[in-house]
Amino acid sequence: MLAEISIRNLGVIPEASAELSPGLTVLTGETGAGKTMVVTGLRLLTGGRADASRVRTGAEEAVAEGAFSTAGLPEDVSAKVAEIVENAGGSADENGEYVVSRSVKATGRSKAHLAGRTVPAATLAEMAGHLLTIHGQNDQLRLMSPDEQLAALDRFDPAITPLAQAYRETYREWRKAARELEERTQHKRELAQEADRLRFALDEIDAVDPVADEDTELAATIHRLQDVDALREAALNALAAIDGAEAAGGFGADDEAASTLVGQAASALDGASDEQLKELATRLHEVSSVLSDVSAELGTYLTSLPADADQLEALLTRQQDIRGLTRKYAPDVEGVLAWRAKAVKRLSKIDVSEEAVDKLKQQVSKLEKQLASRAKALSKAREAAAAKLGEAVSAELHGLAMPKAQLTVQVTRAGYSATGADEVAILLAPNKALEPKPLATSASGGELSRVMLALEVILAASSHGATLVFDEVDAGVGGRAAVEIGRRLARLATNNQVIVVTHLPQVAAYADTHLHVAKDVGDALVASGVAQLSEEARIEELARMMAGMDDSDTGRAHAQELFERAQREVAEMRA
């Protein structure tokens, strides 16, 4: 649900905000007052295209901000929204709401923020797709798309969802296996040549059989061998200085060992009554311990120094072999091993032997049979749902001043695609005697609006907690049809939040909340603001909408009657 929206410098609106409630909210106002700017702000919040021409004249940027709540939504939808926000690094505010903002510079650049984090506009679109749906004139045109019509049918029957998911999984596996089979059969010679090159390379690497980090260790060992005499002398001299020449294998040294002298110094201070000398004694014992450790490590180092004179030549040869691999396949041994792993994987996929090809053919055939079975089950479910959807929408249209209209949802078989083996077309006929035709050729603008509304009423019957926005869905409609549209929007708002931009008093009378967009025309600029109307103000606005009769007692009386009757119906719906 959209809890709040605020707009700044968008179109003719310098600054406006509104708290939005559950149920039906209508926005009304005179032509040009900026009603559709509210919808434009919502489109920005849902990741829509940022149009610099919408920035208010003289302003540097336009900003739209909204707060979304997932309270009342199905648990899986709430979890998905929370996951999107979490992946973006954001979190809900102290009210448990997700704050979304979008700014558009007059230069054309735009920025999007989700729950305190900067995100791409596509992230807003992904999140909003679970929370809010906007229906406007462009959205009506999208309803003519076969893909949108198929999606509408799939939404109608929840039983279709698992069948469609199972089909898609099999379709992906079948397409992958089919492409692999096509590659192996049509490019057999090229693949065989590639396989030979890979085998040669693998044999070359396996002949050397390098191990991880071997190149680094070889370089260090070779360096020691090349300078082994100097290294041994340095270590022996150090060991002799610490433990004496005899301990280092020497003879005839007159100087006492460092470890002996340090030990004598520590012993001299042991037992002293002065605290400062005691501390120095402790430190000398620590020095003695460190000398002992260094002495042990020097002994280990001397033992590890290579003594075989022929070892250097063998290691240099080994280093040369490994350099041959790193010149051809990767900069280091780690890279060579990674290249080998990829080569093994690739080789396993380009086996062009008759046995491998036959095995792959069997796999493709098995998947194709499974695909056909799942496509058939999906088509059967869609055909059953199509008949029910056509009847339900036709019944809705009969109440929308189209008393004899017949809507038909046609499902025809087609080739396998990612969505199934079906093509869906929504057809409309003025009555049963006439042949139904596609919406693009059979429906006027007003009729298309009513078809879309009827579809949404049917599709949203089982939903709750969603936010549905209708931008002048009642265009081209009047009289009794307008009353019926108001009733259906009110019914739709029983379990959902519905926001409607309307010019019809018959629709506005059914609202739970009435927002009015008013404009102030100055000498240089036009400014608009949004205000929530009290009941008395609603009556005046309804009278104005009824042919400008707000200054007439008769007009206000008609508006009062319309309002009270509509509100009684709403109360009965919610009872």
Among 421, 564, 406, 506, CA closest to 28: 506
| Chain-centre distance for alpha carbon 186 | 38
Q: For residue 399, what are the contacts with CB-CB under 8 A and spacing of at least 6?
A: 484, 487, 488
- What digits encode the pLDDT tens for the residues 131-186? 888 877 666 666 778 888 998 899 889 899 999 999 999 999 999 999 888 877 77
Mean pLDDT of 316-325: 88
Residue 65 has pLDDT above 90, yes or no: yes
Which band of pLDDT confidence, cut at 50, 70 and 90, is reported for residue 523?
A: very low
- Amino acid of residue 138: N
Q: Residue 29: what are its φ and ψ, rounded to 5°? A: 160, 165
Question: Residue 6: helix, strand or coil by DSSP?
Answer: strand
CB neighbour burial string for 120-154, b if at least 16 within 10 angstroms, e if fewer: ebebbebbbebbbbbbbeebbeebbeeeebbebbb
Lowest mean pLDDT among 296-300, 323-327, 456-460: 456-460
CA atoms of 529 and 519, how far apart (whole Å) = 7
- Residue 253, number of CB atoms within 10 A of its CB: 14
- What digits encode the pLDDT tens for the residues 173-227? 999 999 888 877 777 777 778 888 898 999 999 998 998 888 888 888 887 777 7
| Chain-centre distance for alpha carbon 545 | 43
Q: Are 387 and 190 in contact (CB under 8 A)?
A: no
CA atoms of 487 and 491, how far apart (whole Å) = 6
Q: In the 3-class helix/strand/coil scheme, how is 398-449 assigned residue by residue? A: HCCCCCCCEEEEEEEEEEEECCEEEEEEEEEECCCCCCCEEHHHHCCHHHHH
Q: Are 405 and 431 in contact (CB under 8 A)?
A: yes
Strands 406-417 and 513-521: unpaired
pLDDT, mean over the chain: 85
Q: Tokens standing for 487? A: 């009733």
For the chain, what are the domain ranges?
Answer: 1-131+466-530, 214-345
Max CA separation in the chain (angstroms): 130
- What digits encode the pLDDT tens for the residues 359-379? 888 999 999 999 999 999 999
Which band of pLDDT confidence, cut at 50, 70 and 90, is reported for residue 251?
A: very low
Residue 20 has pLDDT above 70, yes or no: yes
**Residue 32's pLDDT is what?**
66
Q: Are 295 and 242 in contact (CB under 8 A)?
A: yes
- Residue 459, number of CB atoms within 10 A of its CB: 19
**Residue 252's pLDDT is what?**
43
**Residue 319's pLDDT is what?**
87
Q: Tokens standing for 324? A: 């041959």
- What digits encode the pLDDT tens for the residues 256-280? 778 788 888 888 888 788 888 888 8
- Residue 3, number of CB atoms within 10 A of its CB: 20
CA angle 92, 45, 75 (to 5 degrees): 45
Q: Are 489 and 500 in contact (CB under 8 A)?
A: yes
Which band of pLDDT confidence, cut at 50, 70 and 90, is reported for residue 381?
A: very high
Q: Which long-range contacts (CB under 8 A, 24 or more apart) does 206-209 make?
A: 208/321, 208/322, 208/324, 208/325
**Residue 277's pLDDT is what?**
86
Residue 478 has pLDDT above 80, yes or no: no
Domain 1-131+466-530 part of CATH 3.40.50.720? no
- What digits encode the pLDDT tens for the residues 408-447? 999 999 999 999 999 999 999 988 888 999 887 877 777 7
**Residue 527's pLDDT is what?**
61
**Residue 29's pLDDT is what?**
84
CA atoms of 541 and 293, how far apart (whole Å) = 93
- What digits encode the pLDDT tens for the residues 481-514? 788 888 888 988 888 899 998 888 999 999 999 9
What are the DSSP calls for 340-388, one per residue?
HHHHHHHHHH---SHHHHHHHHHHHHHHHHHHHHHHHHHHHHHHHHHHH
**Residue 26's pLDDT is what?**
92
Lowest mean pLDDT among 327-331, 380-384, 523-527, 555-559: 523-527
